[in-house]
Structure 1
């Protein structure tokens, strides 16, 4: 016998729905199972020309997911993906950005303000992203991109504050950008493209369990706090490569930064990698990372600081990704111990 499902008390449900996900096309995913956004509302609009606006975007957070590995808290990469989908959905649903437009994420940052809110409960989490959007428009009113700031709440409790910036370009313009990026491949040094047979690190070294989710080689960590690894690009990964891409996605680069940071902090401070979490993130993507060029992952562990908002110690780690001597992204994460 199947019992009726108990619905949560009416709070954010008064204005947002969580019972079905939006069209996968509106968040640029191929698999319906990889869609987390469920609804949105425009909260306010003001201004002339820029049409600044506020939105609330709803998402359901799964209790179990390939990238979450049944951890006690919602995974770093899941939160990154929810924020990405929220930005893409607002662009299409509320700002009239056409579906065949290419999206380029320039920056993404967030800071956890409640670790307890990130803990997985007895039912899927109901997330609400409250966003303020500052759109950049041309003279015809077409949106060229936007910056956003906001708060992500889980089951009514503010969990983190975030911000980011993305740019929209036509297919033709995107093709021109990619052609320029491919020039680096043609001038790359011999051997730099041997990326298909890299050996993954042991999952436990990085705080991971599933070998499929390991995205870097075994890192070397010096007593000075400098660490080095290479990015492992598995185009068959069902989450990171939900659909075919012609470049290394930003989510994969962020996960690589998380993994080398966790490994380095654990080794330098004698901690268990599985107990380390990311409490802050700042990512800047400066160039497209090519699939067929080797990507080196360089990290530098900083000194311990006190994260006042969380009441715990954290360790900043600066990471940069390089291909053929060019920096393709810079990521700073803060690592903290949370059992």
Structure 2
């Protein structure tokens, strides 16, 4: 078995095991997808990763393709790992995503296969954020390749806080217990059918309590914070990945109702997110889509549907999201 990968530029990377789980803020080794990280030039890096084959959550997809949310998690792991490895950011710091944009350029490369898929990620730091000569954040561009072919691109702005600042910040918020458990959510929320949101497993459904009127489609987030496939470590707020999944599932329902297209014929190929504030546990988080803003583009070779989504909590906009879905052929 060849333990070395080589990209089109001739750069080799060792890819026999995953990196230290602390570098990507994971509790379980099985949740680590990055296999190596190395510096190629000043503020440029090469990261390798392996796509999972049997993950309870990431491999539960009716289209047969790895989806944008897995790629977003791999991009997140790659970005955080280089800050620790090359910029000496302490493991104890808390990372906050300000905004992120993801585009899938060739979704056919993401077809799930019966052997591990190895990927390269080229990373360039675009800007740095400093405070009193201390690095506190950055914006980076990440280009992902499969079989040395460009597959997806991400650009993310993030910052981090030390534990003392994080504790001070969070004390200002009335934080609910993180051990609400499945009983709380099963009693208060009614999940949508798994197949309607592109899933086989009901435990991976986070969109509940569907409300539709002439103008909007709305769901409410409902999930078990102790479900390790979604929440690998304890949290005191709702993670960005869970919110992205809520948006995707609500979008699939909206497309089904407005364009009569099932989830297995839709692939999320573009997603842009701007986070305004943390969504807290213990209070309803709603996902709202304005039907009038859903645009079907049939003029291009690849037919797409594009629209904005708003995430709200206590009537406040917590995040703004723009998505584009590609319509797959039967």
Number of the residue aligned with 2:181:
none
Matched, 1:39 2:36: yes
Of 132, 136, 143, the residue aligned with 2:135 is 143
Judge which range, 195-204 or 268-277, deviates more: 195-204
CA spacing shift, 1:182–1:277, aligned 2, 3 Å = same
Post-superposition Cα deviations, 1:142-183, rounded to whole Å, max 9, x if no partner, equal: 320111112111221111111011111111111122123328
> Which of residues 272, 280, 286 in structure 2 aligns to 1:290?
280
Q: Deviations over 1:107-151 (max 9, x none)?
A: 1111111111111234211111111112223343x3201111121
Structure 1 gap segments, 5+ residues each: 46-52, 186-193
Distance 1:7-1:132 versus aligned 2 partners, 3 A rule: closer
322-331 or 287-296, which moves further after superposition?
322-331
Structure 1 residues 136-175: aligned runs within 5 Å: 136-140=129-133, 142-175=134-167
- Pair 1:195–1:327, CA change in 2 (3 A): farther
Counterpart in 2 of 1:109? 101
**What residue is the counterpart of 2:234 in the other structure?**
244
8 Å contact 2:75–2:142 — kept in the other structure? no
Q: Tell me the TM-score normalized by structure 2.
A: 0.89
The whole-number CA distance in structure 2 between the counterparts of 1:195 and 1:179 is 25
SS of equivalent residue, structure 1 residue 182 = coil
Taking a change above 3 Å as real, the CA distance of residues 91 and 129 of structure 1, as seen in their structure-2 partners, is: same
Judge which range, 34-43 or 126-135, deviates more: 126-135
2:50 equivalent among 47, 54, 60: 60
Specify the alignment match of 2:180 in structure 1.
none
Which residue matches 1:278?
268
Q: Give me the whole-angstrom Cα distance separating, in 1, the residues matched to 2:131 and 2:327.
A: 46
Q: Which moved more, 1:282-291 or 1:170-179?
A: 170-179
Q: In 2 relative to 1, CA 307–95 (structure 1 residues): closer, same or farther, beyond 3 Å?
A: farther
Deviation, structure 1 residue 57: 1.1
Partner residue in 1 for 2:122: 130
- Cα distance in 2, alignment partners of residues 263 and 216 from structure 1: 9
For the 8 Å contact 2:192–2:207, the answer to whether it is kept is yes
Q: What is the deviation of 1:327?
A: 1.5
Partner of 1:331: 321
Cα 1:9–1:42, aligned 2, differ >3 Å: closer, same or farther?
closer
Out of 194, 207, 216, the residue aligned to residue 216 of structure 1 is 207
Q: Write the distance in 2 (CA, Å) between the matches of 1:307 and 1:69.
A: 31
- Runs of 5+ consecutive residues of structure 2 not aligned to the other structure: 177-183
C-alpha separation between the residues in 2 aligned to 1:307 and 1:44? 42
Alignment check: 8 A CA contact 2:218 2:287 kept? yes
The one of 215, 218, 224 equivalent to 1:234 is 224
Give the 3 Å change call, closer, same or farther, for CA 148–138 of structure 1 in structure 2. Answer: same
How far off its partner does 1:78 sit?
A: 1.3
Change (3 A) 1:283 1:145: same
Q: Deviations over 1:3-47 (max 9, x none)?
A: xx57787547852122100011110000100000111121221xx
1:117 is paired with a residue whose SS is: helix
1:28 aligned partner: 25
CA contact (8 A) 1:111 1:281 kept: yes
